[in-house]
Amino acid sequence: MAIPTTRADELMREALHLQELGDNRQALIIYEQILRSYPRHPDVLHNAGFAQFQLGKMHAAENHFLAAISLRPRFDRARSNLVRLWTRMDRSKTLTEIAHDPDWVDALDFEASIELCKHFMDREDFVLALTFSRRALTLNAAAPHASQYLGICLLRTNRAEEAEPHFRKALEYLPKSPEIMASLARCLLSMHMRRKRKSYWMEARTLLSTAATAAPGSPRIRHELGTVYEENGEFPVALDEYRRALDAKPDYLPALASLVSLSREDAPQDLLNNLQDVLEQDTTYPNSEKSRGYQALGKYFDHQQHYDQAFDCFKRSNQLLRPGAAYDRAGREVYIDNLIATYATPALSHTEPADSGEVRPVFVVGMPRSGTTLLEHMLASHPLIEGAGELPYFTGLERRGLSLHNEFGRRCDDWDLRLQSAYQKRLQDEYDQILEKIDADARHIIDKMPFNFSQVGMILYLYPTARIVHAKRDMFDTCVSCFIESFSAEHNWSFDLGDIAHYYLQYQRLMKHWIAIFGSQIMTIDYEDVVSDRESAVRRILDFLKLDWSAKCLHYKDQDRSIRTPSKWQGRQPIYKTSVKRWKCYKAHLTPLFESAGAASEVGDILKPAPRRLKI
């Protein structure tokens, strides 16, 4: 016999009271009693699901939430709790689909939005995390952690200037929070890299020092303080900070990796053993930190000339970082084909330079690990040149749909409209404002984003008289160096030797096209020439830029500036000729590279077995 509705309402109130007291087990018994009479009651289904959620009965809770939503599609509270449940169940695929569905995003409450933000942050998908950090802050503008998370997402998507006010707002609410101080410090360091203002670096150091004092047991903050000193070239102080991080937590993987990496061949055996033990036994660290640990070990073995062990470490490092989405070789070839077809002639000729005077930006492009950082540091030592680091502006134009070509390399549908000078000036003004913030007075500013090699057509559309320095390095040295270093998951070509070789050959094909049609505006500098005679190489570039010689360019290591690319250690060292033909040290492991690069003229000889000598 069905329970009367008045009695069902009484039971509902009793169950809710039990839940408020934390007695979810007894509340669930009452909800199940009600559901026997009213199995299609969305509120009872939702509350029963929530009780099961609290009791750890995840699949049963999921079924109840889904049933409630099917009966009341705009049941926002049920949607929010279902999403919280799915984050516990690690339903990553489903949560990613939700992130792209505006109806679901708009339905979520503050707690669900924060949890989804943390879910995607943990997986280092900061683009999706950004959606939910904004949603959370919209629902509660005074929530300090929502401001902090939004700042972190903006920072990790290369938008430090936008992130800064959110970190400062969070710190206003929680002025003694070591975590927020550390977040703001990371933001200021990123801004220092772009604007070269020492005040940013000094404030970051002060914030991290204060945070380390406030949280003496936090190895992460102490480690980050060490990275501040390392990026500024203060290696002995950095080593001390890394050791202090280990004093707080002897098996702290990031500090172990940093100590081994910075110590190089002087790393003591007990430190190496500790790092190896943590990598093999500890399962609590994310893959990104484990990868860096293997990379540090690999570089130690490389310095010891134990190349087999080194290669094994580098291979493990890449396996840990390799994203789920494989590199699409055919897709990359189509992209390059389309770029070549889109920019088929040197003549975007009916466009006129917005400014007929000298163009401030100088672009250093090329494959990563081809010497772009080295060239920037030498050139930025010139009194009339400032280095801007790697600006994501031109690669961002493509992602934002503002370039002349789309993400497939083809001409945009409104190509003719975009060729008009008003459109050109709008984008040029946007980029000029970025340069103005870096240095308002420098005659030239170097943008050394290496991946701008795919944006040369777009660059010369905005700045038809610009100068482009193309850093070129031996293919095998470049590919091996890319394999050794760690790149983010978006560079999915960088985790497999065969993929790296394919990507290199496509880069080479595109650069040949750019040089064919824009030859006078592009100077190619071989890394090997820089190593053998750096003065001659720099003189050639300065002549190309119509600048007088400055001996300061040979003393680039004395520059007071941070380096936050994989070249930060090498960028402060002498130029060693041993960096040329280093691939030969790993020749026994490079078959996938040689096979993918089979069209290269020297590969045939490499793959041939050595001739056998007859004994006489």
Domains annotated for the chain, with CATH where assigned, are: 5-230 (1.25.40.10), 250-321 (1.25.40), 331-603 (3.40.50.300)
Q: Give me the numbers of helices (H) and strands (E) for the chain, helices first please.
A: 31, 5
Q: Identify whether the C-beta of residue 369 lies closer than 8 Å to the C-beta of residue 566.
A: yes
Q: Report the run of H or E that residue 602 belongs to, with start and end.
A: none
Residue 402 to residue 428: CA distance in whole angstroms: 12
- For 164-216, the pLDDT digits (tens) are 999 999 999 999 999 999 999 999 988 887 666 788 989 999 999 999 999 98
Q: What local confidence, expressed as pLDDT, does residue 46 receive?
A: 95
Percent of the chain with pLDDT over 90: 71
Residue 363 to residue 539: CA distance in whole angstroms: 17
Tokens, residue 49: 């699901």
The dihedrals phi and psi of 526, each to the nearest 5 degrees, come to -80, 130
Residue 209 to residue 200: CA distance in whole angstroms: 14
Mean pLDDT computed over 326-340: 96
Residue 118 to residue 125: CA distance in whole angstroms: 10
How long, in residues, is the chain?
Answer: 616
Contacts of 315 (CB under 8 A, 6+ apart): none
Q: What local confidence, expressed as pLDDT, does residue 27 receive?
A: 94
Triad 57, 61, 67: Cα angle to 5°: 155
Residue 45 banded pLDDT, cuts 50, 70, 90: very high
Q: What local confidence, expressed as pLDDT, does residue 239 receive?
A: 93
Q: What local confidence, expressed as pLDDT, does residue 543 receive?
A: 95
Q: Give Dmax over CA atoms of the chain in angstroms.
A: 109
Bridge partners (DSSP) of residue 524 are: 470
Mean pLDDT computed over 363-387: 93
Q: Please give, one letter per residue, the 3-state secondary structure of 488-536.
A: CCCCCCCCCHHHHHHHHHHHHHHHHHHHHHHHHHEEEEEHHHHHHCHHH
pLDDT, the chain, mean: 88
- For 578-603, the pLDDT digits (tens) are 778 999 999 999 999 999 887 444 44
**Which pairing describes strands 467-472 and 444-447: parallel, antiparallel, or unpaired?**
unpaired
Amino acid, res. 426: R
Q: What is the pTM of this model?
A: 0.76
386-412 CB burial, b ≥16 within 10 A, e <16:
bbbbbbebbbbbbeeebbbbeeebbee
Residue 601 to residue 491: CA distance in whole angstroms: 27
Task: Return the CA Rg of the chain.
Answer: 28
Residue 616 banded pLDDT, cuts 50, 70, 90: very low
- For 53-99, the pLDDT digits (tens) are 999 999 999 999 999 999 999 999 999 999 999 999 989 999 999 99
Helix residue ranges, H only, 521-584: 527-532, 534-544
Q: At what angle do helices 235-248 and 219-231 cross, to 10 degrees?
A: 170
Chain-centre distance for alpha carbon 491: 9
Cα 486 to Cα 115, 167, 296, 324, 373: the distances in Å are: 29, 28, 11, 16, 16
Q: What local confidence, expressed as pLDDT, does residue 571 receive?
A: 46
Other beta carbons less than 10 A from residue 10's beta carbon = 12
Residue 399, pLDDT > 70, answer yes
Q: What local confidence, expressed as pLDDT, does residue 575 receive?
A: 56
Q: Identify whether the C-beta of residue 356 lies closer than 8 Å to the C-beta of residue 461.
A: no
Contacts of 585 (CB under 8 A, 6+ apart): 302, 305, 307
Triad 570, 559, 360: Cα angle to 5°: 100
- For 202-233, the pLDDT digits (tens) are 999 999 999 999 998 899 999 999 998 998 88
Q: Identify whether the C-beta of residue 121 lies closer than 8 Å to the C-beta of residue 149.
A: yes
Residue 208 to residue 59: CA distance in whole angstroms: 44
Amino acid, res. 196: K
User: Residue 506: which of 239, 498, 437 has the closest Cα?
Assistant: 498
